[in-house]
Structure 1
Amino acid sequence: MFFLRFKFLSFRKTTAFLALVFALAGFTGTALSSPPDSTSACLSTRWPSEVSQLVPDPSLVRGKLKNGFRYVLKQNQEPAHRVAMYLAVQAGSLNETDNQRGLAHFLEHMMFNGSTHFPPGSLVNYFQSLGMSFGGDTNARTTHDQTVYNIILPSGSEKDLASGLRVMADYARGALLLESEIDRERGVILAEKRARDSAEYRTSVAGSDFAFRGTRYPERMPIGTTKTLEEADHALLKSYYDAWYRPDNMVIVVVGDIDPQRTADLIDKHFSPLTPAGPAPECPAFGKLQQKGVEAFYHYEPELGKTNVSIQSVWDLPLENDSLELEKKELLGLMGSMIVDYRLQRIQEKAKPPFVRAGYYSGDIVNRIGYASLVAQVGGSHWQETVTALDRILRQALVYGFSKDEVERARKEILAQLDARVLTADSEDSRTIANRIIDHLGNNRVYQSATQEKELYGPLTREITPAEVNAAFQERWSHNNRLISVTGDIALGDTGRAEIASLYREVTKEPVIASISEQKQIFPYLQPAPPSGPPQTSYLKDIHVERLVFPDGLVVNLKKTPFEENRVRVKAVFGLGKMKEPVPGVGMFLEDVVNGSGSGSLSQSAMDEVLASSSIQMAFKVDESDFSWTGTALAKDFELYSQVLYHRLVDPGLRENIFTRARKNYEQMYQKISQDIEGAMPLAVQPFLADYNKQFGLPPWSDVAQVNFTSLQKWASPLLRPGDLEISVVGDFDRDKIVAVLTKYFSGLALRPAKVPDLPELQFPAGKKLVVKVNTSVEKSLIVIAWPTDDFWDIHRTRRLHLLASVFGDRLREVIREKLAASYSPNVASFSSRDFQGYGYIISQVLVKPGTENAIVAEICRISEQLQKEGITNDELTRAKGPLLTSLQENIRTNQYWLNSVLALSVRYPQQLVWPDTIISDFSSISVADVNELAARYLHNDRAAIARVTPEDVDVRKGKGNLAFSKK
C-alpha cells in the first residue's frame, strides 16, 4: 500500500501545489518506530511481519545478529553491477531531549568527520578512490523519526561490499566526535540552517506549531536550535550517540548485484562485534493534540509572495501493527483523496476559479498524527472566497458523497498502477527498492513484492463500494476540530484570527448542493490522415539505432533496450521553441497553458479521465530551440499514447482560463523570488551572464506582464501543429508494432525538413561585476563567479571542462566548507551552450553569511588562480575521474540518456549519434595535461564575471512591489 500511496502522490501531484504545512515542515511520511516490545523503551527488533498476518516479499533475505542488529538483502540487477546500501538508525529529532535539539542532524554530519577506520578529512577521498561521488553516491538524511545513511557502491564485489560495510559499521559505533571537528562542523551546520531559512520554512514552522501543539513533533525540527548547535560538544553529542546508535536500533538494507550469503557473512563480520554503550533509553512521550472545535490560524509572511488557505482536521493515532484491515482503510482513504483531487482539477479549469492552485492531502505523520487537509494558493485579496469554496467542496463530499463514476475512475487508476508495477518490477532501481524497504520498516509495515501487492490490493480495489469510500472520508473528518489557516502576504493585522474564524462560522451556515457530474468523454475523436508511403530505413549498427524517414518528412528513431522492462520512453521534437519568441516570457506561458489545456476538444481533466486505466504520462516543453512532447508508457499502451500525442499535435488546446491561471501563478512566483536571495539568480544573474539575452534566466515582470492570451494564441497556434517532426522511441518494445502504430498516426502529416537555428554570438561580461540588493529579512548572501569558456559542440573539450569543474568544486568544498565552514554546499559547474556559438562558462555559486562576501570572493579567486597557474594534481584527477566514470557507466544504460542525449534532435545534430561510441574511452583518456591546458586557457580572474546578491540593510519590509531588488 505504501507503494501505491507514494506513487499516487508523485504521479498526480507533480503539477499541483507544493503541499501543505506538514510537507514544508519536513514531513517524510515515515513512522516513529514499530510498536515497542516493552513500555520502557521505544526500540524493537521485531520484523513487521512477526506481528501481522501479511506475508513479506519472499525474495528478501532477512537476518538478525545476536546483538539485535538486523539486515535485509535483495538481489537486483538495475543499475547493472551497482549496490545500494542503506543504514537506518531508528531515531531522529523526536528522540532528542530539550538540550539536544539538533543533535540527531549534527551527528549525521559528524559521521563524515572522523571514525575508527577513517581519520578526519579522509572519508570523502576514500569514497572517491572507490569511484563514488560525495553527495551523489554517498549521503545521509535526518528526519523526525530516523537517520539514514546511504552508499551506492560501484559493484557487488567482496572488496567493495567490505569497504561499504566498514564505513557503515563506523557510522554505527565508531564515530570519534573530536572536539576540533565538532567546532569546525558547527559552522557548516549553522550555514546549512542559514541556507534553509526562507519565507516558506518560517511559515511551515509556524503552521506546525499551531496544528500539532501538544505533541513533540513541532518542538523537534531536525535542524535544531541555534543555542544547541552553538553549545554542542563531545559529551553532549556522545550522550545522544550512545543512547540511540545501538545495534538493536539499527537495520542495514543492501539491494543490488550481490550474493546474499556472502553479503550476510560480511555483515556478521563487521556488525556482530558492536555492542550498546548502556541500557536501552526511555522512549520520549509523544504527547496529545490539543485542537478542539473551530480554530483559526493566521501567519503574516510578506516575502512568501502568495497566500495559502487551508481547512484541516487532525487527530491522534495509536501505533498499529500492519494488517489487511489497516491496508484497506488506507486504500479507502487514498481513493477519497483521488476523487477530491479530480473535483479540484475541474474547478481550476473554470473561467474564474476561486484559487490559483489547490490540492487535497490525507494521511499520517510519524504514525502518530492523522490529518486531512484541503489547501489552496490564492491572491491574498481573494482569501475569503477561497475559504468559502474549500468549505463548499468539503461539505459537498461529506453530505452528498462520491458518485459511482468517480469511484470507478479511482479504481481504474489504482488497478493500472498495480499492473504497471508487476510489469516493470524486474527493472526497478536498487535505490528505489532500498528506500522503500527502509520506509516500510520505519512505518512498521510489511514489504511485499509487486505480485503480492497486486494479489492483495487487486481484489480489495475491485470490491470496494462508493458507500465504503464515503464512510472512510466522513470518518477522517469526524474529529472534533476544524483548523482554518490563512498564511502568506495578506496583511490582516492583530484581528486576523478572529476575522478568519468569524468568516468560517458564517460560511458553514450556507447550504450546499451536490457536486455536478460531468459527461463522459469520447476518445479518440480524430482520424489520422492516410500514410504517405513506406519509409527509407537505415541502421546504425555501432549504437543499435534504427532510423526511418517517411516520404512526407516524418523521422523516427528507434532503440530497443532492456533497461526498463515493458516500458517505452518517447520524445517528439519539432519547431524552433523560444527562438522565434515575439515577447519575452510568452514561451514559459505557452508551456503551462498547453500542459493545462488538454486537446482542442478535451480539457485536461477530461483527458486524464480518458487515460485513467492507462500508464501514460506526457508533458509539453518549450526549449531554447525546439518544442517537444516527452512521455512514458507501458509498451501495451503505446497505441493509446500515440493517439493522445496525435490529438495534441493536430488539435492542440489553448484555453484562456488556463492562461489566466498561469498568469496568476507567475505573478505570485515573481513576487516571491524578487524578495528571495536565490531568486536573484534567474532574475538578475543569469541574464547578466548572457548579455541580457531573453532566453537566459527570467525576463523582468514588467515584460512578462505585457503578455496576453491574444498574443500567445497568435504566436503559438500555427507553431503547435508541427511543420517538422522527429519522434524517438527507446525501451522494451516490439519493433514491428511500434513502426505500424507510428506509421498509422503520423506518416500522413505534411512535414518539411527540420531547421537548424542560426544564432548570434553572445557577449560574456568578462571582467564585469554585478551587485544585487534584495528586499528580504533572510540573512544570507549569494556569491556567483563565472569564467567564460566555449560552446558545447567540441565534445572533446566539453568533457574536459566538466572534469575541470569537478576538481574546482572539490577544492571549493575542501576550503569553503571543510576548512572555513563558511558555506553548506558550495558548487561549481560547467555550462556549454548548445544553441549559441562560442558561449559557455565555468560557474561557482556559494551561499554565505552577510558580511563575509569579500573574503569568500577572494578565496574563490585564489583557488581559481592557483588552478590556472599550477593546474591540478594526478591525485585530484583520479578522484574526480573515478566517480565520473562510475556515473557514466550507469548513465549509458538508461533510456533517458539514449532518448535525450543521443536520439532527440539528432536529425539537426547528427554528431550526437557518434558520441556514445567515445564517451567512456574519451573520459578515461583525460590526462592532467588536458585539464591543465583548459585551466590555463580559461580560468583568468581578470575575465571572470562576479555577482554579489545581498540583503538590504533594513528590517523586514512591509507591503509588496513588482521587483524588490535593485541592480548596480
Structure 2
Amino acid sequence: MKKITAFVFIAFLGLMTITAQGDGIQSTAIPEGDIPVDPDVIIGTLPNGLTYYIRNNGKPEDKVELRLVVNAGSIMETDRQLGLAHFMEHMNFNGTKNFEKNDLVSYLQSIGVKFGADLNAYTSFDETVYILPIPSDDPEKLEKGFQILEDWAHNTTLSEEAIDGERGVVLEELRLRLGADQRMQKITLPKIMYGSKYAERLPIGTKENLENFTYEDVRDYFRTWYRPDLMAVIAVGDLDVKTLEEKIKTHFSKISKAKNPQKRESYQLPNHEETLIAIASDKEAAFTSVQVMYKDPFEAPQVKTVSDYRDRLVKNLFSTLINNRLDELRNSPNPPFVFGFSYYGGTFARTKNAYQSFAQTSPDGQMVALKAILEENERVKRYGFQEGEFDRAKKSLLARLEKQFNDRDKMESNRLIGEYVDHYLEESPIPGIAWEFNTTKDLLPGIRLEEISALINGFIHDDNRVIVLTGPEKEGLEQVTEEQVRTLLDEIKTAEIKPYKDSEVRNDLMESMPAAGTITSSEYDPDLEITTLTLSNGAKLTYKKTDFKNDEILFRAFSPGGTSLYSDEELQATSFANGGLTEAGIGGLSLNDMSKFMSGKIVRVRPFISSFSENFDGSAAPKDLETLFQMVHLYFTSLNKDEEAFQSHMAKQKSFLGNLMANPQFYFQDQISKIRNEGNPRYTGFPTVEKMDAADYDLAYQKYLERFDDAGDFHFYFVGNIDESALKEYASTYLASLPGKNSNEKYIPTAFRRKDMYQKHVIERGSDPKSYVSIQWEEEIPYDRETAMAVDALGELLTIKLIEKLREEEGGVYGVGANGNLTKITYPLLTFSISFPCGPENTEKLIAAALDEIEKIKKDGVSPEDMGKIKETYLVKQKEDLKTNRYWLTNMVRADQEERDLGLMMNLEGKLATLTSEDIQQVARKYLDENYFLGILMPEKE
C-alpha cells in the first residue's frame, strides 16, 4: 500500500538537495541579501500552529496534489515504540472518523486514484509524509480529498481490531527487508551513525516490538506527535489558490492547539576523533561496494542567503568535476569499479552533512576500488582541477538549469511539491527556478577554479571518517581486513600520484557532412495531428508537434528483423556482447571524448538490437536536435570498433554479476526462467561471468553492421516541441543521406512454445523465512482489441480483489499484483500473472485464496462498483497521458510495429464504453484455466 523509507543506503543520498558550508577562496565580494521565496507560493500558518503551502499549477489539468507532512518519524520513538511511527502511518489507511477500514481506499479507487501508485505515504527517521492526488474539477471529490487529509491529521480511530489486523501486514513488510543487506546493515549502520539515536531507530522497527506493543503504545505516539504545530498541509495543482486556502482553513483550523506539547528534539550525530571501519559480508550478498564518508565536525548550516546559495553552487561544481573524473576511470581499459561517484550533502541526520565517495565493484575488487576513489580525492587535494574540465562543468550545470527554466510553466505538480515538503521540514530554499537560473548565470562568472579545488581541504580529514565495505562471503574469496584498510589510508598520503591529464576534443561531432537526400512525400493526419514523411532512401519519419514541454523532443526508431534473423549459434555468441558495442564511441570519438563533447548539451541517443527489431531511443532539447540527428547518422555509418573499450565494458559487467545468483530472488527468477524455456534453442538466460567470457565481440560488431546497413526500412519517430522546418532539414541531411537498400526485412516469428499444462516448481534458496509466489498463464489466441482490453482490465480488477483478500482480510502479504496482456509480436499471445511475497507457512493458503478470487470472478462476474473503479482509473490516467510526449511516442511506435490503428488505440473512451462485466468474466473463464505455471521460492531446509 505504501512506500516506506525504512532505510535508504547512504551512498545514494547524493540525490538530495545539497546544503553548503563556505570553505573556499572567495574571488569576488560575497553576495548580499536573503534568498527569496518563490512569489507563486503562498505560505501561511493557522492559529493552532499548522503551516500550509499553496500553489496554482496547471499541469496536469483538473488535478491537485495534496501532502500532509508530519515533522516526526521513528527518531521520536521511545524504546517501547520501535516501529510505531511507521505503524501509525499504516493505521491512517485503516479506519478514521469519516472512513471505516477499507472505505478510504475503496472510495479513492472509485475516483481513479490508484492504490500504491497514486495514494501513498512514507515514514523516515525524522518525518512522515502522506501523498494524495485528487481531481480538482469536482467539488464533491475535492471536499472528500481534504476530509481524508484532515482525518489523517487527527481523526484516526486506532481501534484494537484494526491495530491487530494491521500487525500482520507490517510484519510482512518487515519480512521483505530480511536478507543480506539487512544483516550487513546491523554491522555498518552503528559505525555510519556512530553514537547517535539514528543507529537505533530504523523506521521499520523490530519483529519483537511489532508483535508485542500495546494499543496504548501506538495511541501515545499518535497523541504526542500528530499535532498541528508539527504539521504542514501542502496543496499544488489546477485550482485557484483562494479555494485551496479556504479548504485548508475549514478543515484544519478546527484541530485543537496542543497543550503542554513535548519538545520536538533535534538529534545530533556526534563527532569522533578516530576513523571507524565497518566491514560486513554475507553469503547471500549479491553486490560489492565501498564507501568513504567524511562527516563535518560542525552542524549543517542552512541555506538562507545569496552567499549561502553561492557556496552551494561551488560545491555542486565540485561534485560535477570529481564525478566526471570518476566516469573517465570507469571507462578506462582496466576499470577499478563498476561505477563510482562523490558528493557533498546530507546524511540521515538533518544536523550533519558529509563528503562521501562510493563505488560498486567486483567481489574481489574492494581494495582496488577503495584505492581508486581515495587516490582521486588525493589527486584533487594535491593538484586541484583544470580550466578545461571546469568550463565543461559550468556548461553542464547551466544546461540542466536552463532546461528546467524553459519548462517552468510545464512542470507537473508532483515534481514541484517536494521542494515545499523540504522547505517545511528543513527550511531548504524555494526561490523558484527563474531565480535560480538567473542567479546562477550571474554568479558563475565570479566563481574561480581555485576556490572549487580548495574545497577538498575541508572535505577530507582523518577525524569523523567512516570506511564501509560490504560484499559476499564465499569459499576462495579472501575478506579485506581492517588492518589492510588502515594501511591503505596511510599509504595514500605519500603515494606517487600524477596530475590529471585533460585532453581536448574536436569542436565538431562530424568531420565531414554527408550529401543530403530529399523528402519525397508528406502525409498529414488532421485527427491525430501527425505528419509522416517519406525520404528518398525509403525511410519514413513520423512526427507530432506538441506543447506539452517547452524543452523536450523524444525520439524512437525501429526496423523489423533484430536477432530473430540470427542463427541459433549467432544469437548465443552475440547476445551478451551487444550491450558493449556502443562503449567504443562513434566517429572516432571515444566514450570519454563524447562525454566532453556533450558538455552543455541536452541530448542522448542509444541504438540497440532487440529480438524482433533494430532500434534507436533518445531525446534532445530543441536546441540540440541537430546533434541528435548527427549521432544517429554516425551510429549507422561510423560505430567505432575498440577491443579495449569492449573489454572494459565486459569487466564491469562481470564485476556486477560476480555474486548475483547468491541472492535468492535472482536465483529463483533464473531457475524459473530456465524451466519455462526448456527446449528453446534461442533462450540465452540470465547473464553470467561465463557467458560474458564467451561473448564474441567480432561477430556482434559484424552483425550490428548488417542490422544497420539499410536505413531504408527504418521508421523514425519524433514527438515534442519541434521546429518543423529544422526537423525536415535535418531529416534530409542526416537520415535521407543514409544508404537505402530496399531490403524490407521482416522478423521471423518465434517457433518455440511453452508447455500448456499445469506445472508446479518449488525452488529452495536462502536462509530467511521468506517466500515468493508466481502464477502464470499463457494462451496463443487470435488478436482482437476487445479481448486485449478485457484481459488488461482483468489484471486491474484482480489486483484490487487480491489486495482486499490477501492483504486487508488475511494480513498475509504486504503487496500483491496481477497483470494481463495480449500482444501481436511475434505471434498473438495472451499472458496473465499473479505474484506476491509472503511467509513460507502461508504460501499454500494464499495461493488457494488468490485462485479462489479468480473463481469468484468466473462465477459472479464484476460488480458495478468494481467496474466503475476500473474504468475511472483508466480514464483518469489517460487524461494525463494524452498530454505527455512519452505516451504519444510509445503508441505511435506500437501501432506501426503491431499493425494496429492508432486512432482506435487512443480512443480509450470508446473501448471502455463497450467493455462489460461479461467481457472480463469470459476472459477469466476462458483463459485462466487449470493449466498454469506455479513457481514458489522457499527458504532452504536446515
| Same topology, TM > 0.5 | yes
C-alpha distance in structure 2 between counterparts of 1:287 and 1:449, whole Å:
30
- Partner of 1:836 in structure 2? 826
C-alpha distance in structure 2 between counterparts of 1:389 and 1:534, whole Å:
52
Task: Report which stretch shifted further, 484-493 or 402-411.
Answer: 484-493
C-alpha distance in structure 2 between counterparts of 1:546 and 1:753, whole Å:
24
In structure 1, which of residues 950, 956, 959 is the aligned counterpart of residue 938 of structure 2?
A: 950
The alpha-carbon deviation at position 897 of structure 1 amounts to 1.0
- For the 8 Å contact 1:786–1:842, the answer to whether it is kept is yes
> What code does the residue aligned with 2:545 have?
K
Deviations, residues 382-440 of structure 1 (Å, cap 9, x unaligned): 33333332222111011111111111111111111121111111111111011222123
C-alpha distance in structure 1 between counterparts of 2:904 and 2:744, whole Å:
21
- Partner of 2:301 in structure 1? 320
The alpha-carbon deviation at position 870 of structure 1 amounts to 3.0
In structure 2, which of residues 534, 547, 550 is the aligned counterpart of residue 549 of structure 1?
A: 534
Q: Identity, % of aligned pairs?
A: 22
> What code does the residue aligned with 2:162 have?
E
5 Å matches for 1:541-690?
541-574=526-559, 576-580=561-565, 582=569, 589-590=576-577, 592-680=579-667, 682-689=669-676
Deviations, residues 761-814 of structure 1 (Å, cap 9, x unaligned): 542333332424344223311111112245694222111111111111111111
Task: Report which stretch shifted further, 154-163 or 691-700.
Answer: 691-700
5 Å matches for 1:411-422?
411-422=394-405
> What code does the residue aligned with 2:857 have?
L
The alpha-carbon deviation at position 450 of structure 1 amounts to 1.6
Deviations, residues 594-619 of structure 1 (Å, cap 9, x unaligned): 45433241122221211111222333
Change (3 A) 1:756 1:621: same
Deviations, residues 575-606 of structure 1 (Å, cap 9, x unaligned): 53332454566666455324543324112222
Change (3 A) 1:421 1:917: closer
In structure 2, which of residues 183, 199, 202 is the aligned counterpart of residue 221 of structure 1?
A: 202
The alpha-carbon deviation at position 298 of structure 1 amounts to 1.1
Change (3 A) 1:886 1:480: same
> What code does the residue aligned with 1:710 have?
D
Deviations, residues 662-692 of structure 1 (Å, cap 9, x unaligned): 4344445545442223214541334544566
1:895 aligns with 2:885: yes
1:729 aligns with 2:723: no
C-alpha distance in structure 2 between counterparts of 1:800 and 1:52, whole Å:
60
The alpha-carbon deviation at position 886 of structure 1 amounts to 0.8
Change (3 A) 1:646 1:497: same
Change (3 A) 1:135 1:392: same
- For the 8 Å contact 2:72–2:128, the answer to whether it is kept is yes
Change (3 A) 1:76 1:441: same
Q: Determine helix, strand or coil for the equivalent of 1:943.
A: coil
1:91 aligns with 2:110: no
1:927 aligns with 2:916: yes
Change (3 A) 1:776 1:308: same
Change (3 A) 1:595 1:428: farther
- Partner of 2:808 in structure 1? 818
- Partner of 1:744 in structure 2? 733
C-alpha distance in structure 2 between counterparts of 1:870 and 1:264, whole Å:
46
The alpha-carbon deviation at position 63 of structure 1 amounts to 2.1
- Partner of 2:42 in structure 1? 61
Change (3 A) 1:698 1:815: same
C-alpha distance in structure 1 between counterparts of 2:573 and 2:101, whole Å:
52
> What code does the residue aligned with 2:340 have?
A
- Partner of 1:966 in structure 2? none
Q: Determine helix, strand or coil for the equivalent of 2:188.
A: helix
- Partner of 2:87 in structure 1? 106
- For the 8 Å contact 1:868–1:939, the answer to whether it is kept is no
- For the 8 Å contact 2:575–2:684, the answer to whether it is kept is no
Q: CA RMSD in A?
A: 2.7
> What code does the residue aligned with 1:437 have?
Y
1:449 aligns with 2:439: no
- Partner of 1:145 in structure 2? 126
- Partner of 1:540 in structure 2? 525
In structure 2, which of residues 334, 339, 344 is the aligned counterpart of residue 362 of structure 1?
A: 344
- Partner of 1:374 in structure 2? 357
TM-score of the aligned structures, taking structure 2 as reference length: 0.92
Number of equivalenced pairs: 915
Q: Determine helix, strand or coil for the equivalent of 1:519.
A: coil
Task: Report which stretch shifted further, 317-326 or 888-897.
Answer: 317-326
> What code does the residue aligned with 2:281 have?
Y
Task: Report which stretch shifted further, 618-627 or 454-463.
Answer: 618-627
- Partner of 1:257 in structure 2? 238
C-alpha distance in structure 2 between counterparts of 1:114 and 1:466, whole Å:
58
C-alpha distance in structure 1 between counterparts of 2:825 and 2:352, whole Å:
51
C-alpha distance in structure 2 between counterparts of 1:285 and 1:147, whole Å:
16
- Partner of 2:331 in structure 1? 349
- Partner of 1:191 in structure 2? 172
C-alpha distance in structure 1 between counterparts of 2:392 and 2:732, whole Å:
31
1:871 aligns with 2:854: no
C-alpha distance in structure 1 between counterparts of 2:86 and 2:237, whole Å:
28
> What code does the residue aligned with 1:444 have?
E
C-alpha distance in structure 2 between counterparts of 1:772 and 1:787, whole Å:
17
> What code does the residue aligned with 1:112 have?
F
- For the 8 Å contact 1:578–1:587, the answer to whether it is kept is no
> What code does the residue aligned with 2:176 have?
A
In structure 1, which of residues 779, 783, 787 is the aligned counterpart of residue 777 of structure 2?
A: 787
Task: Report which stretch shifted further, 524-533 or 726-735.
Answer: 524-533
Deviations, residues 698-754 of structure 1 (Å, cap 9, x unaligned): 367655552243343333343345543221110112212211122111111112365
Change (3 A) 1:695 1:495: closer
TM-score of the aligned structures, taking structure 1 as reference length: 0.89
- Partner of 1:14 in structure 2? none
C-alpha distance in structure 1 between counterparts of 2:179 and 2:581, whole Å:
31
The runs of 5 or more residues in structure 1 that have no matched partner are 1-18, 33-50, 955-968
- For the 8 Å contact 1:754–1:907, the answer to whether it is kept is no
- For the 8 Å contact 1:888–1:920, the answer to whether it is kept is no
- Partner of 2:27 in structure 1? none
- Partner of 2:23 in structure 1? none
1:395 aligns with 2:382: no
Change (3 A) 1:156 1:320: farther
> What code does the residue aligned with 1:925 have?
T
Change (3 A) 1:316 1:849: farther
- For the 8 Å contact 1:317–1:367, the answer to whether it is kept is no
Change (3 A) 1:494 1:936: closer
Change (3 A) 1:140 1:28: farther
- For the 8 Å contact 1:531–1:743, the answer to whether it is kept is yes
C-alpha distance in structure 1 between counterparts of 2:934 and 2:693, whole Å:
29
Change (3 A) 1:297 1:774: same
> What code does the residue aligned with 2:559 have?
F
- Partner of 2:498 in structure 1? 513
C-alpha distance in structure 2 between counterparts of 1:131 and 1:908, whole Å:
30
1:282 aligns with 2:263: yes
C-alpha distance in structure 2 between counterparts of 1:247 and 1:586, whole Å:
64
> What code does the residue aligned with 1:474 have?
N
- For the 8 Å contact 1:688–1:765, the answer to whether it is kept is no
Change (3 A) 1:908 1:168: closer
- For the 8 Å contact 1:82–1:153, the answer to whether it is kept is yes
- For the 8 Å contact 1:573–1:628, the answer to whether it is kept is yes
C-alpha distance in structure 2 between counterparts of 1:84 and 1:115, whole Å:
21
- Partner of 2:391 in structure 1? 408
- For the 8 Å contact 1:215–1:287, the answer to whether it is kept is yes
- For the 8 Å contact 1:560–1:732, the answer to whether it is kept is yes
C-alpha distance in structure 1 between counterparts of 2:307 and 2:815, whole Å:
45
5 Å matches for 1:240-255?
240-255=221-236
The alpha-carbon deviation at position 290 of structure 1 amounts to 4.3
C-alpha distance in structure 2 between counterparts of 1:363 and 1:277, whole Å:
34
In structure 1, which of residues 226, 236, 239 is the aligned counterpart of residue 217 of structure 2?
A: 236
C-alpha distance in structure 1 between counterparts of 2:11 and 2:358, whole Å:
12
C-alpha distance in structure 2 between counterparts of 1:716 and 1:21, whole Å:
39
- Partner of 1:802 in structure 2? 792
